[in-house]
Amino acid sequence: RFWQPMLLCAAGAILVVAPWSIRNATVNGQFITLTVGGGYVFWVGNNAEADGELSIPRALQEFRETQPIYQVDRRGYAEGIRFIAGHPGLFVRLLALKTVKSWSLLRTNGWYLHMRGRWQWLWVALSAVTEGVIFTLGLLGIATSSQAQRPHRACLLLYAASCLLTWLLTVVEPK
């Protein structure tokens, strides 16, 4: 009974995604679920030049202009994984930077861009802490309001965690 809503949701998702996946396989000659943009975004967000924004590495820009998009997708995942495996310390620092930028209230409207140095980082960090508190209170509200429906609470928490993980592993810029 606990798994029934999740199985129904998964079946619905498969029914929606399957026709597009079949179409993409027919048109492109290879299996593509919905899009091939993930590898590109993963590479942009995980490379030695990444800064937690949408700065595109020169190698990626050149490769993207000359290759089919599914090749860019495939290489993007490979390059991102190679970067993470080869530079774990830099990757952890980049995750911290993306976390701060992702949770910053100021970042969304560019308010801090005129500042430089410590002041900019101070305001971005304070903004991130504020948004983190707001997010935590929101999760507590979800947990409190759904005491009678534990399976739904677990789904909501898993969803929130997966959204956060997706933001951290890719590019923070689209926020």
Specify the higher pLDDT residue, 36 or 105.
36
Confidence class for position 3, pLDDT limits 50, 70, 90: confident
DSSP string, 40-59: HHHHHHSSTT--SS-PPPHH
pLDDT at 94 over 50: yes
Residue 91 C-beta-side C-alpha neighbours within 13 Å: 15
Tell me: the pLDDT tens digits for 105-152?
Answer: 555 545 555 556 677 677 767 776 777 777 777 777 777 666 655 666
> Please, what is the average pLDDT of the chain?
76
Which pTM does this prediction carry?
0.55
What whole-number distance in Å separates Cα of residue 40 and Cα of residue 45?
Answer: 9
Tell me: the pLDDT tens digits for 154-172?
Answer: 666 766 776 666 555 544 4
3-state secondary structure of 126: helix
Which of 144-152's residues contact partners 24+ apart within 8 Å by CB, and which partners? Answer: 151/2, 151/5, 151/6, 152/5
| Amino acid letter for position 92 | V
What whole-number distance in Å separates Cα of residue 166 and Cα of residue 162?
Answer: 6
